Amino acid sequence: MKPVLLIDFGSTYTKVTAVDIDAPRLLGTANSYTTVQTDINDGLADALKKLEARTGTLDFCARYACSSAAGGLRMLASGLVPELTAEAAKTASLGAGAKVLKTYSFKLNEDDADEIKALNPDIFLLVGGTDGGNTECIIHNAHVIRDIGGDYPVILAGNRNAARTCAKILEGREVHITENVMPSFNVLNTEPVQKEIREVFLNRIIQAKGLSKATELLNGIMMPTPSAVMAAIKLLAEGTENQKGIGDLVAVDVGGATTDVYSVAEGLPDDPRTALRGLPEPYIKRTVEGDIGMRYSIRGIVEAAGLKKTAAIANLSEERLNEIVDLFATHTDLLPSDDEMQRADEALASMAVRIAMTRHAGRMSEIFGLGGLQLIQTGKNLLNVDQFIVTGGSLIHTEHTGRIASYGFFDEEDPGSLKPKRCTVLVDRSYIIAAMGLLSQYYPDAALTILKEELVKDDGTK
């Protein structure tokens, strides 16, 4: 046996997973409250005690970790045009595993400056202009960021002709220059800035989050938890040199504060006569719905879905559902304790999945022009994706996971949405996706084998 320990320092729970990479298999999992306000190692020690009680004493040959503790990797970004460089900055940040607090467009004003100062991000991503294009906006914004102060790093990923000027303006603080996230019109170049974001996370943010003591126990990488999840999703879809992946897929993680959606697919139109509008979609895409969560953002679900519709799905009166929502929002660690609360929890999870998937997927619209009817696609076409991965407490701790997941499929009531038509639902019952993303950095074949073994099919009939 060759056991490896995988640690996820979450905002609420520290989760530990033990695997054997010799004969790839899951040995056990456990979790404990994350003690980020005191010493993060206390929560880790408690989780390890629980793990040892299940697996026995293990002599780990390696320990790897990811983290979203203390709010995760909090980023702000500014660009030029909302639909172009600002959107490109957001796409790049999300793809690097960050939590994007806000994206600004055009020149920053005094109100923006006050908000940025109050938000005090971990990283500010400053972009704007294609190479050889507009320099005025990004240079203006560099002056604003300089005047705001603060000690967070700034990553410059805009017009290359303005990069050095911006760096001089920001002299005295930590600045990283990388390639333009949009070097030419409608061309995305996200990998260099994503690599830079991860480097800053490794070199600086770990200390700021109080994780430096924990890293002394580790053999390798520390990365944002969403990056680990993306790594696992990519591995599962594409496979390795020795094993095939399962192909195009969508994954939904319904959390307490946010709902994250990942898709691995080209997402191109089925009909060659369809015209594409907007930025090109990344093959591996992540979106984060900060207003949709099962506890901290539970009110956002009701506001987006509607109280009447959610109550009908739960088979509860609107008044009773409101009472339960208030209870969950006030007591964020509360689990459903009776049938009504369970029905409410499942209905809210269903609506979270529907809202997040609708926002993530592209849309098809029809317009009439001189040549007659024309189809216009914006965003990603996921109609033909047939694998749907789900994780998150409200989905894995219920017998009705498949039914909840189905709310993320194509809906006749909203025919313009390009959500998947029909999918096989795979459930992360053991909560190991992030752990396998970590493991994949060193043992990709073992990680893929365990993922295929542990993701459980759910046909929605329970």
**Is 227 part of any domain?**
no
132 dihedral zone (left: phi>0; alpha: psi -120 to 50; beta): left
Structural domain count of the chain: 3
Same domain, residue pair 397 and 266: yes
Is the residue at 106 inside a domain? yes
Instruction: Clarify whether residues 169 and 48 are in a common domain.
Output: no
Q: What is the pLDDT along the chain (462 residues), one digit of tens a residue?
A: 899 999 988 766 788 999 999 999 999 999 887 665 556 677 788 899 999 999 999 999 998 988 775 556 789 999 988 878 788 888 888 877 777 889 999 999 999 999 999 999 989 999 999 999 999 999 999 999 999 988 899 999 999 999 999 999 999 999 999 999 999 988 888 889 988 888 887 776 566 555 666 666 666 667 788 889 999 999 999 999 999 999 999 999 998 888 999 999 999 998 888 988 888 888 999 988 888 889 888 999 999 999 999 999 999 999 999 999 999 999 887 889 999 999 999 999 999 999 999 999 999 998 876 667 789 999 999 999 999 999 988 888 888 999 999 999 999 989 999 999 989 999 999 999 999 999 999 999 999 999 999 999 885 443
CATH number at 53 reads 3.30.420.40
Q: pTM for the whole thing?
A: 0.84
CB atoms within 10 A of CB 102: 15
Identify whether 225 is part of a domain.
no
38/77 same-domain check: no
User: Does residue 377 share a domain with residue 254?
Assistant: yes
Q: Are residues 146 and 31 in the same domain?
A: no
- Residue 172 sits in a domain of what CATH number? 3.40.50.2300
Of residues 426, 454, 383, 87, the one with CA closest to residue 253: 426
Q: How far apart are CA 50 and CA 282, in angstroms?
A: 40
The reply to whether 301 and 435 lie within a common domain is yes
Looking at 173, 190, 220, the residue that finishes a domain is: 220
- For residue 256, the one-letter residue type is G
Look at residue 224 in the predicted model and tell me its pLDDT: 81
Residue with tokens 């905002």: 11
In a domain, 273, yes or no: yes
337 and 348 share one domain: yes
- And the tokens for 347? 């209905």
Q: Same domain, yes or no, for 9 and 44?
A: yes
Q: At which of 159, 188, 220 does a domain end?
A: 220
Has residue 282 been placed in a domain?
yes
Model pLDDT, residue 100: 87
Quote the pLDDT of residue 119.
Answer: 93
**Within a domain: 232:** no
Instruction: Indicate if the alpha-carbon torsion angle 61, 31, 430, 297 is positive or negative.
Output: negative
Asked which of 147, 180, 204 is the last residue of a domain, the reply is 204
Contact 86, 105 (CB under 8 A): yes
Residues 142 and 128 in one domain: yes
Strands 25-33 and 363-369, by their bridges, are unpaired
Residues 289, 349 within the same domain:
yes
Q: Which domain holds residue 79?
A: 73-204
In a domain, 10, yes or no: yes
In a domain, 231, yes or no: no
pLDDT of 164 reads 95
Residues 27 and 112 in one domain: no
Q: Are residues 77 and 64 in the same domain?
A: no
- Contacting residues for 35 by C-beta, under 8 A, at least 6 apart: 14, 41, 42, 43
